[in-house]
Every structure is written in C-alpha cells, then in structure tokens.
A and B are shown apart, each in its own frame.
Chain A
Amino acid sequence: MAFDAETREQLIDTVRRFVAERLRPLEAQVAEQDRVPDEIVREMADLGLFGLSIPEAFGGLGLAMEDECLVAIELGRTSPAFRSVIGTNVGIGSQGLVMFGTPEQKAKWLPKIASGEIVTSFALTEPEAGSDSAAVQTRARREGDVYVLDGAKRYITNAGKAQLFTVMARTDPDRKGAGGVSAFLVPRDLPGITVGKPEKKMGQQGAHIHDVSFDGVRVPAANRLGEEGEGFKVAMQVLDRGRLHIGAVCVGVAERLIADCVAYANERKQFGQPIAQFQLIQGMLADSKTEALAARALVLETARKRDAGESVTLEASASKYFASEMVGRVADRAVQIFGGAGYVADYGIERLYRDVRIFRIYEGTSQIQQVVIARETLKRGG
C-alpha cells in the first residue's frame, strides 16, 4: 500500500535511526566475527523488517515498491551484511510465494516469513547454471502426489538458516530451456537436503552463502509454485523486483560513502588546508554525488512505474546495472579520498569497497543486465 507523507516519513525515520544507533556501531564487530548478533536479528524482527514486502493480510507491511526502495536506501547506509539478514525474506525468498502462491501456501508460510520466525532462501544457481540460469539441471520427477528432487545448487544466500527454500528444478527433461523448469516450496526439514559450509567470501562478512544438495527429496505436489513449466516466469518476476531493491541498496551505500568522504575531507589537512579545498578532491566528490543522484532518481522513478502497474523489466535492469556500477566507482573514489586511511581497515572504507563488489554480480551480472536492456530496447524500437 502507498502511504501518506507523514506515515512514510515516520517509517523511514525509524529505520534511519535504527541503522544509525544500532547497526552502524557494530559494523567492525560483524565483519570480524563473521556474524550478525542474534539480538540484532531479533530487533530487526521486532521492528517488522522481515515483513516489508509481505501483504498486510499476512502480517507484513505490504510496502509499495517505492517505499520498499526508500527503506532499502536507509538500510544501505550500513554494512550490507545487515540487509542480507532480511534480504531473502523481503525479496527472492518470499516474492515467488506472494506473486504465485495458492491461498493455502500463502496462509501457511507468509505470516512466519513476515515475522522473521522463519528465514527463506531462493535456490536457482547451480554449478552449470549461473548467468545461463535456464540451464537448470536439478530434476523434479513426479511420483503420484510428490515430486522427487535431485540435484545441487550453489551460492545460496541464507541457506544455513533457511527453513524454506524456493527451488527451481526441471520437471520436463525433454524441454531444454526455461520452459521445462518449475518452482517448488521446499521445507528444510524434508529428508535428503544437505547444506554445505558457508563459503569464504571477498566481503559482506556476516552474510553467508552455501551449497545445497537435494538427494531424493520428496516434495508434496501441493508445494509446487505456479504451474509446471512456470518456474522461470516466477524467477524472472521475482528478480525484477529484487533488482530494484538491490539498486536502492546501492544508492544507500553510495550516499553513506559520500557523507563519509565529506566528513573526512573537511577534517584531513594537507599543505595547510583541509583536502576538501582541493579542486581535484572536489571533482571526485562532484562525480560521486552526481552519479548517486542519478541512480536514486532512476531507482525511485522505476519503482513508481512498477507501483502504477507498468512493466519495468528494462528499467529494473537499468537501475540495478547503473546503481551497482555507480556504487563501485563511488567506493573506489572513497578509498582515493581517504588515501592510506582508505586502504587501512580501521576506517571501514576498504570494507565497504569489498562489500559492494557483489552488487555487480548477483541477481544478474552487469553483462546480463546489459543483455536484458539491449533486448528490451531492440524490442521497443528505441
């Protein structure tokens, strides 16, 4: 639902305060311990963050996309590992269910997803199916009123904590591409599921990805999401929304970095004056600010279009593409403005520099976004 200005303001303000007072002081600790404290996860649940995108009827907030983006921008002002705690429940782990779930499926799962009682994961990527996600090899064979799942997924966010997976698996081995794939709601406690150790990663310590393997997992047919062969339709619509959310997070991190740069440049003196006085530093600040403003405008404009019911496949890809590349450049300039302090861990700048690198890779690499943008542009004739 869309808000009046006052309620929106209060909502955003609350998230901003929570980020500033509770999350930011813990950034270094979370990175070092590779763990978001349980207490913080509970506070995030109490605040209602797990339910941002779940309809009100199921105990969530049912935020319009524009409002979700505004919240994501606020969450972007701290280590992205915190956002990852709620990221799957808000995005790829729940939206298939919200968009394609039957009333029974929704009633069973959505309230617990909204409250944070259960964590969800979205399992699409496989060793042989990354950018070419339609090449999914995990099999789902129908046997009476169950599907038997066999296969391996990898790089699955929050799989270590997830109690519910949305799994893409091939129901029709004779159809090679997207058409043979279906989506399933797979509870973690079914026999035959193995979750691997968390991978060591470049950044976002505190957020985890795992291999997940399915070995003869018997999933009730009632857990199929959408029709047989509709799995890709589910995945693509989920990703449209996810890409906007990621774009918004990138805007938030960029704004945070710019504020950090301004504070540092005013403080740090060389040649007898604050480095903010040097036009070469100002040039970097101006470029970062301009790009961050452009990304914010693109993300929010696209979100409003989506809220108005328009198809935004092109614009959502463009938002994610531009915002993720933008925050990479902003983080790079931040390291430069901080000089040696930008490379030393204490200041947190090098950490954010590493953290934002993933935004150009997951939920579709920049190249895949370019492919989508070009394809849609050619289709539209301009």
Chain B
Amino acid sequence: MKVLVPVKRVIDYNVKVRVKPDQSGVDLANVKMSMNPFDEIATEEAVRMKEKGAATEVVVVSIGPQPAQETIRTALAMGADRGLLIQTDQTVEPLAVAKLLKAVVEQEQPGLVIMGKQAIDDDNNATGQMLAALLDWPQATFASKIELNGASAANVTREVDGGLQTLEVQLPAIVTADLRLNEPRYASLPNIMKAKKKPIDVKSPGDFGVDITPRLKVSKVTEPPKRQGGVKVESVADLVMRLKNEAGVL
C-alpha cells in the first residue's frame, strides 16, 4: 500500500511571530521555517507503517515556494521514499490545496493519505476534511492511534472533546494526525545525507489544471492583546470582590 503525506513549510514553532506594520500578514523575512509539526507526526506514522511492512512506499507532497523542497527533504531524511513539489509563490488557501491534493491522489492512487490536522501558521484545520469531501473518501480526523486491518480498513482513535472515539474507516481514506499520535524521530545524520539522492519531482499548479486564485481576503492581522500584569490581593474578601466587580467572572 502506498501512503501519501502532504507536508507544509511553515514558520518554525520556536519563532516569535511579528506582524507586518501594514497589518497585511506576518513578517516572514529572515525567519526560520520548518516542517509543520503535525505533518512531522504524519510523516513519522507513515514511515513506521513502512518499517512494519504495512506500507510499501511513502510519498510526500508539498505545495509552496521553491524552498519547500527543504521541507520535503526533511521528510525524505525521516524515511519517506520520494517527493513532489507543486511549486508556487502565490498564497494557496485550503481549498486550492485540497484540489491540488485531489489531483495528486488521482495520479498516485495511494491507499491512505495521512496529513497534519492543521498547519500552525493559519490554523485553518480544513484541508484534510476538504480533500475527503472532494474525493468522496472516508475521513478520520485528529487521530491519536491508527491500526491497519490489512489494506482494506483501519481503526482510528480520535481525540474528541469528551475523550477518545474509535472509528473504522474503509481504505482508501484520509486520516489527519493529532499531537499524541506519535513522537517524531530525529532524522539521523546519515539519512539526511542519503535523502539528497532521493528523487523530488517539481510541478506547477497549472500542470494539474487547478486554479489557485485566492477566494478569501485577509482584512487585517493584529498582535494578540498584551497580557495585563497580575495584582496581589490583601485578603480572600478582596479577591472575591475583584473577581466579581473587576474580572466579572463571579
């Protein structure tokens, strides 16, 4: 079974994000970029399936600017077999990504797509669901455990508000990875070097006949409000009074 893993290049999770002065977005100049952490988890899961013999090939795809190749290389260093970059400098919204992924799925015919539940840049949490809808495939989102029943079905444990829910989905299916699915490995240094020799195909959105023109307009991006410093209260009575009158929580 072939597993497809879409990966996104995002601002590194350790970087403190700065909003551009004109409020049109966040400043990406000279900022460290990395693979979206949820996509790392997805890649790890696919690579483990391959190591256990459950998957035969792990293909990673990224949609984004030329440097997104580095993100693909990271996945290849973790153990994926080959990569596909759909190169564009334009902003691609979840729907456009889902349409492109649909075209890739039709071409590659994977038995399973594992992807991050969301990207930590825009936090949309939409692409996986949209892709499932476009393909009319079963979906299991927010997975914390995936068990394959041969190549025809999978039991997926999902993290839902009330606890854990286990679904059985027929394959092929879309599964989106949550934080606790696994702990991604560090790509070993020899594998980083070997990843240089693994193939990455480069295509453009046009090659798949997909129109990626944005449908959404960002009105403005602002910093979250600064947290107010705390105050020390003199007594319990004072605390209750302030919670009632100032914080308005009682």
- Do A and B originate from a single complex? yes
Interface residues of A, Cβ cutoff 8 Å to B: 4, 6-7, 9-11, 14-15, 17-18, 43, 46-49, 51-52, 56, 59, 61
Across-interface contacts of A4 in B (CB, < 8 A): 196
Interface membership of B190, Cβ < 8 A: yes
Asked if B186 contacts A10 (CB within 8 A), the reply is no
Bound: A47/B188 CA distance, A: 4
Taking the closest CB of chain B, its distance from the CB of A142, in whole angstroms, is 40
Contacts of A15 in B (CB 8 A): 189
In the bound complex, residues from chain B placing their C-beta under 8 Å from that of A46 are 186, 188
Contact between chains at A47 and B73 (CB < 8 Å)? no
B41: min CB distance to chain A, Å: 15
Determine if A10 and B188 form an interchain contact, defined as CB atoms under 8 angstroms apart. no
Is the Cβ of A14 less than 8 Å from the Cβ of B73? no
B175-212 residues with Cβ-Cβ distance < 8 A to A are 186-193, 196
Q: In the complex the two chains form, what is the Cα distance from A59 to B193 in whole Å?
A: 12
22 pairs of residues in contact across A and B, judged by CB atoms under 8 Å: A6-B70, A6-B73, A7-B193, A9-B70, A10-B70, A10-B73, A10-B74, A10-B187, A10-B192, A11-B193, A14-B186, A14-B187, A14-B189, A15-B189, A46-B188, A47-B186, A47-B189, A48-B189, A48-B191, A51-B190, A52-B189, A56-B193
Cβ contacts under 8 Å, B186 to chain A: 14, 17-18, 43, 46-47
Q: Which 9 A-B pairs have the closest CB atoms?
A: A48-B189, A48-B188, A48-B190, A10-B192, A47-B188, A11-B192, A18-B186, A61-B189, A14-B186
Q: Which residues of B contact A9 (CB under 8 A)?
A: 70
Please measure, in the bound complex, the distance between the C-alpha atom of A56 and the C-alpha atom of B192, giving whole angstroms.
13
The answer to whether B187 touches A61 (Cβ under 8 A) is no
Q: A9-B70, A11-B192, A17-B186 are in contact. List 13 more A-B contacts (CB 8 A).
A: A6-B69, A7-B73, A7-B192, A7-B196, A10-B70, A11-B189, A14-B186, A18-B186, A46-B188, A48-B188, A48-B189, A51-B189, A61-B193
Measured between beta carbons, the chain A residues less than 8 angstroms from B171 are none
Q: Which residues of B contact A10 (CB under 8 A)?
A: 70, 73-74, 77, 187, 192
Q: Is the CB of A14 within 8 A of B192?
A: yes
Within 8 A of A (CB), among B29-83: 69-70, 73-74, 77
Closest Cβ neighbor of B74 among chain A residues: A10
Q: Roughly how many angstroms separate A4 CA and B193 CA in the complex, as a whole number? A: 10
Contacts of A14 in B (CB 8 A): 186-187, 189, 192
Alpha-carbon separation in the docked complex, A4 to B77 (Å): 15
Question: For residue A17, which residues in chain B have a CB less than 8 angstroms away from its CB?
Answer: 186
In the complex, what residue of chain B is closest to A115 when comparing beta carbons? B190
Give A11 to B189 CA distance when docked, in angstroms: 6
**Contact partners of B70 in chain A: CB under 8 A:** 6, 9-10
Bound Cα distance A363, B192 (Å): 31
Smallest CB-CB separation from B14: which chain A residue? A20
Nearest chain B CB to A56 CB, angstrom units: 8
Closest to A7 in B: B196
B68 to chain A, nearest CB (A): 12
| Chain A residues, CB < 8 A from B193 | 7, 11, 56, 61
Task: Give the residues in chain A near B77, CB-CB below 8 Å.
Answer: 10
CB neighbours of B73 from chain A (8 A): 6-7, 10
Residues 108-149 of B, flagged 1 when their CB comes within 8 A of A and 0 if not, give 000000000000000000000000000000000000000000
Bound CA span A48–B189, Å: 5
Within 8 A of A (CB), among B91-106: none
On whether the beta carbons of A61 and B74 are closer than 8 Å, the reply is no
Cα–Cα, bound, A320→B190 (Å)? 28
- Assembled-state Cα–Cα distance A255/B73 (Å): 29
- For the complex, what is the distance from the CA of A51 to the CA of B193, rounded to whole Å? 13
Chain B residues near A61 (CB-CB < 8 A): 189-190, 193
Q: Kindly supply a per-residue 1/0 record for chain B positions 11-41, scoring 1 wherever the CB is within 8 Å of any chain A CB and 0 otherwise.
A: 0000000000000000000000000000000
The CA-CA distance from A51 to B190 in the complex, in Å, is 9
Chain B residue nearest in CB terms to A1: B193
Contacts of B189 in A (CB 8 A): 11, 14-15, 47-49, 51-52, 61
**Closest beta carbon of chain B to A111's beta carbon, Å:** 12
Chain B residues with Cβ below 8 Å from A11 are 189, 192-193
Distance, CA A15 to CA B192, complexed state (A): 11
Contacts of A51 in B (CB 8 A): 189-190
Q: How far is the CB of B15 from chain A (nearest CB, A)?
A: 13
**Closest chain B residue to A15 by CB distance?**
B189
A36 to chain B, nearest CB (A): 17
Residue among A4, A6, A15, A18 with max Cβ neighbours from chain B (10 Å) = A6
Residues in B neighbouring A56, C-beta threshold 8 A: 193
Q: Would you give the shortest CB distance from B213 to chain A, in whole angstroms? A: 31
Give Cα A373 to B214, complex, Å: 64
Tell me which residues across on chain B come within 8 A of A47, comparing CB atoms.
186, 188-189
A108 to B77, CA, bound (A): 28
Nearest CB in chain B to that of A47: its residue: B188
Q: For the complex, give the distance between the alpha carbons of A17 and B192 in Å.
A: 14
Residues in A whose Cβ lies below 8 Å from that of B69: 6
**How far, in Å, is B31 (CB) from chain A's closest CB?**
14
User: Least Cβ distance of B174 to chain A in Å?
Assistant: 29
Q: For A59, list chain B residues within 8 Å (CB).
A: 190
Closest chain B CB from A50 CB (angstroms): 10
Shortest beta-carbon distance from B81 to chain A in Å? 18
Contacts of B187 in A (CB 8 A): 10, 14
B200 to chain A, nearest CB (A): 12
Q: How far is the CA of A68 from the CA of B247 in the complex (A)?
A: 56
Q: How far is the CA of A52 from the CA of B189 in the complex (A)?
A: 9
- Greatest chain A CB density within 10 A among B73, B187, B188, B189 is at B189
